[in-house]
Structures are given as structure tokens and as C-alpha cells.
Structure 1
Amino acid sequence: FFFDLPSHGMLSGIALHGHTRSVTRVKFNKDSDLLFSTSKDSSPHVWNAETGERLGTYEGHQGAVWDVDVNFTSTLVATAGADQCAKLWDLKTGQCLATIPHETPVRTVAFSHGDSMLLTVTDTSFGSKPAVHIFNLPGHDPETIRDARTEYRPWFTHRVPEKITYAAWGPTNETVYFSSEDGSIVVLDIQSEKEIVFACPHKAEIRRFQLDKDYTTLVTASWDQTCKLLCARTLKVLKTYETDKPCNDCAISSMYPLVLVGGGQDAQSVTNSSQRQNKFETRFFHKVYMEELASVSGRFGPVNGI
């Protein structure tokens, strides 16, 4: 689903049907006219964000696709797959321009500011620790990427003992933020290769987080049934948004003082839960006052991406 936030009146939404398995990630491009979605069915989709029309798919992964990102000029798409590779695509044609192999499944992928680098996160597997990787890209447009025939090797790798659940670039490409399954979040300095800020704001796994548009705050979604607003510099907790179910994703509105929260339990937990908990909702909280202002419900299944 995607929804229009009017200045007054009812929320209006459009249901997008295309994936055959559960959705893992949704992402708008910079201009917000395209919506990208990934799922466990191996085929990322791109949609017209105004009409809901499916514009195309990106075929090539051999398993679940966990994450997607689009570059600033909306010419390149990057995806992270359970098939142990990240892929770069021509946004318009759907052509796979490059495949970047990894030793383990890839959980996160993100273009740097300026689109000169690519960030990936890998899982633990066969004795290999979870890691943050950074690759240089040979260019900013599909033709350069396709013709470069680059053998992609990370120039930066940072391994940690705990599973990394999500990662994002800091404001100037000098730092990377990443969260872990132990409820912690870290600011990693790339030049010194040191973790310069550490905090553990949650009692359970942080599923995802999002920095606001000016990089002063970030919001986290955790399985401890809370989302928290943190200072991006110190990682100090500023606000807490409480729910009655595990939180899978969250977002900070760039136009309104709102925090959006979505989540839910897996199928096994749902069968033994209350009717209230079966109603999976996207909730709208006031960013400052922490009050729940609205919710969108009606789905039988967890909200995995916002």
C-alpha cells in the first residue's frame, strides 16, 4: 500500500499487487515519483508512485531480495540478495549492469552521497562474521557501469560479532550507522575504522532505522515493541513511541512532525494472539508529543517496510 497524506480529511491509499511472497523493503526515489519494492520472490519491482502502475521488474536474483536503493539521479538501482550478491541495474531498461559477489547473503545496500561508492552489509555464515563493506563505483551512469567490466572488491570492510540488521551512510560519507540484533546502534568512522559512538537503546533486535533529511535525528524500530527517536550525533534517546507488537520498520516524515511505525508478529505468533494484535497497522505518531494520531489497518500479515 501507499498513502497520500492530505492537509485535512481521510487518508487515501492504493494497494499494489505484484509480488508472490512477503515484501521485504519499499523505497522511493529522490523525486518520489517512483516506488521500488523487494520481496522474498527474487524479483524487485518499480511502480509509478502516482497511479500505482507497475512499470517493470528486475530479473536476475536467485533467492530473496532484502534491500533496494536508487541513486540520486534515478538512473541506477542497487539490490541486496540472499544469493550472496549485490546487483546494479539500469533503472529504465531493467538490465543487470554488474553483479558484486559476496561470501554470505547481502542484507543491506546503499549508494553514498554523490553516488561514487556502494555500501553493503553481509550476514554471518560458515564462520564468516557479519560485516560492513564499501565498494568504489566506476561511474554514475548505466553506460559507464556496464562498459567498465570492473572486478568489484571492497576497499573497506568492518567485521563485528553481532548480526547487523541495517546500515546507512552518515551525512558526509565519513561515517556509517549500523544496528545489530542485540538492540545496539553504532556510528562507524570510515577513515579511522573505529566505532566512535555506541548506544544500546533497545532490549531486543533493531529491525531498521531511518535518519531524517537533515541528519540531526534518527528513528529506530525494534522487536521490543518500541520505536525511539535518537540524537544522530550522540545516539541519546530523545523520544519513545510505544506499541503493542514488534516493530519492523519506521520512517520520519520530511513534511510533517510525524513518525510512522509498522510491524507485527510472524504467523505462528499470530495464531495465538488476540484479535487486536491480529490487526497489523501502520501507526502515525506525533514526533514531539509521542501521541498516536492515526493508524491504517486491515492487513493480515506483518508490515515489513515503510
Structure 2
Amino acid sequence: MANLRQTPLTCSGHTRPVVNLDFSDITESSYFLISACKDGMPMLRQGDTGDWIGTFVGHKGAVWGVALNNHATRAASGAADFTGKVWDAISGEELYSFQHNHIVKSVNFSKDSVHLSTGSNEKLIRIFDLNKPEAEPDVFSGHTASIRHVLFFRNDTHLISCADDKTMRVWNRSNRQEIQKVVFPFNPNSLEVSKDGTVLTVAYSNKVAFYDAENLTKIREFTIPSPVNSASLHPDKSIFVAGGDDLKVYKYDYQTGSEIESFKGHFGPVHCIKFSPDGELYASGSEDGTLRLWQTTIGKTYGLWKCIEGGSLNDSLTAPKEVQAN
């Protein structure tokens, strides 16, 4: 078999660094991808092709965090304008804007899309009830530095967060109390809960660590050749990908930590990386202002990738039309 070249799909349109991304679950219309960018204009794309669908217009500062609900009917974004916003992902209309007192770095929907969590530079986590948007949010305090990521956890009965105080914490939603904590030697840069809810993936310094989601014991940890900004575990937990300061995206065997392959496609540090819900591709966002979609199995006909003679792949480039949601 010929040695296949990885040809990522390049998604243009942003004008500043891409710092966060999120996939929906698989819907009747495949799945979707949202990106957060310092240009303040989160973009929605078709997940398997990268085709631009629309841009959510309304923030007045860099967008740091984004999320899609499972069905891709709602989007959320957190920004430097001290707001967390919820959008209709079909019409592009802004539905709610929740005021904070500092930069909102992280947003996440509950499984039923009824609640939105936010993490901010106020060191606080909030949960907003989208059925009662005027109500005061539940507030969780305990972190001693800016919060990087907060996710609904354990079938939405808990939250999990990581922050610049070198900790990862689990919170009980019913009493808003912290119940578990892991301390790292460096600030954790990314946090992901596996598709089946059993494994946590954390990137910090030049390490990718995996934790048991129930008892927070470390399962394994591997060293990457570069400072790592983000890592993601494949839905079947066979491989993981990582990206960081050396501009490369890396693929590793989850059991052994052996490097399978690495690719250079970005022209700046990789800030975020994540597998699609079907595991067929992973997306990366970079300082260079682009998103790139990479095939998990090189040479497979999938999305815009067509297998052709000679074992190489055709290049595809997607660019947005006018960046304005309908």
C-alpha cells in the first residue's frame, strides 16, 4: 500500500487566532462544528466538510469559549465583553445574553439543553436555567484563579472544571459543593470528558494525562515533544490527538503512548483540537486563524476526501462566503 499523505481541509474566514471549538452530536443532518476566535465572530460549519454555515454576530470582544448542544439547535459563546450568549443555531438569532463581571472563558450545555454553565476570570462557575433566563444563576466558588474550562459531568449531576490555580475540581450540583480535586504541577490547558463518560483527558505543560472519571485516579500519562495546549481522546479510546506550540498535530496510541504520526499544517501554535462525534476526523484551531480538519484514517473516502489512484488525496479548501448569519 502506498504511503498516504494527510491532506487536511482548511477552513478559512476567521481574522484572528482560533482558540476553542466544539462538535455537536450526530444529527439527522450529520454533525456540526463551532469555532471561537479572538475576532469576536464565532462560526458554525458542517462538521464533516468544514463548509461554512453562518457567523454569530453580537459580541464586542474576543470569543474564548464555544459550545453546541447535542442536536445542534443551540450554540453558546463566552467572550471578553463579559457576556455568555446563547444563540439559535438554525437562524443565527441571539436568544440570551448573560452578564458577568469579567471575561467568560468557557460555556457548556447540559445534555437536555435546559442549562448553560459558564466559567470566568471571576474564578466563579455559574449555571443558568434557560427556561428561566431572568432567574439568578447557581454559583459555584472555590477556584482561586481564572477558570479555563467547565463541563457538565456524570449525567449532569455534577460539574467538572479546571483553572489557572493548577487544579481540576468536581462539584456536586445539588449543594454546589466541591467534592473532589486534583492538583497539577502546571496549569491544565484543556479538559475533555470521553464520549462514554469514563475518562478525562487533560493537557498540561508537555503532558497528556488520562483520569478515571469516577474516582479521579490517574490511568496513564504521556510526554509530548512540545508544550501541549489541547488533547482529545477518540470515541473508541484507541488513540488520542494533541496539539501545541510546535505547530504540529500528533496522533498517539492510547494504550502505549507510542506516536503513530504527526503532521504540520498550521502556521502558528495549535490552541484546540477535538475528535468528531463519529471519530472519523479531528479538528484543530490555531494562532494562524484557521481551522483544519484531519482524517483519522488517511485515504478513506469520507466527507470531501475522495480516494484516488496512487494513494494520494485531493486537496480541498473551504472558505466562507459573506460572514453573516442569515
Percent identity (aligned): 26
In 2, distance between residues paired with 1:122 and 1:84?
A: 8
* Cα contact 1:282–1:303 (8 A) shared by 2: yes
- Within-5 A mapping of 1:1-306: 9-31=4-26, 33-124=31-122, 130-138=123-131, 150-200=133-183, 202-222=184-204, 224-255=205-236, 257-264=238-245, 279-306=246-273
How many equivalent pairs are there? 268
In 1, distance between residues paired with 2:138 and 2:125?
A: 11
Which residue does the alignment assign to 2:288? none
* Cα contact 2:210–2:221 (8 A) shared by 1: yes
- What TM-score do the two structures reach when normalised by structure 1? 0.83
In 2, distance between residues paired with 1:37 and 1:203?
A: 29
In 2, distance between residues paired with 1:211 and 1:256?
A: 11
In 2, distance between residues paired with 1:198 and 1:53?
A: 40
Q: Name the amino acid aligned to 1:211.
A: V
Unaligned runs of 5+ in 1: 1-7, 125-129, 139-147, 265-278
Unaligned runs of 5+ in 2: 274-326
* Cα contact 1:135–1:156 (8 A) shared by 2: no
Measured on the aligned residues, the alpha-carbon RMSD in Å equals 1.7
In 1, distance between residues paired with 2:176 and 2:87?
A: 30
Q: Report how far residue 219 of structure 1 moved.
A: 0.8
In 2, distance between residues paired with 1:300 and 1:162?
A: 31
* Cα contact 2:142–2:178 (8 A) shared by 1: no
* Cα contact 2:171–2:177 (8 A) shared by 1: yes
Q: Name the amino acid aligned to 2:175.
A: S
Residue by residue, what CA displacement relative to the aligned partner does 1:76-120 show, whole Å, maximum 9, x if unpaired? 111111100011111111111111111111111111121111100
Q: Report how far residue 10 of structure 1 moved.
A: 4.5
SS of residue matched to 1:177 = strand
Range with greater deviation from structure 2 (151-160 or 52-61): 151-160
* Cα contact 2:158–2:173 (8 A) shared by 1: yes
- What TM-score do the two structures reach when normalised by structure 2? 0.78
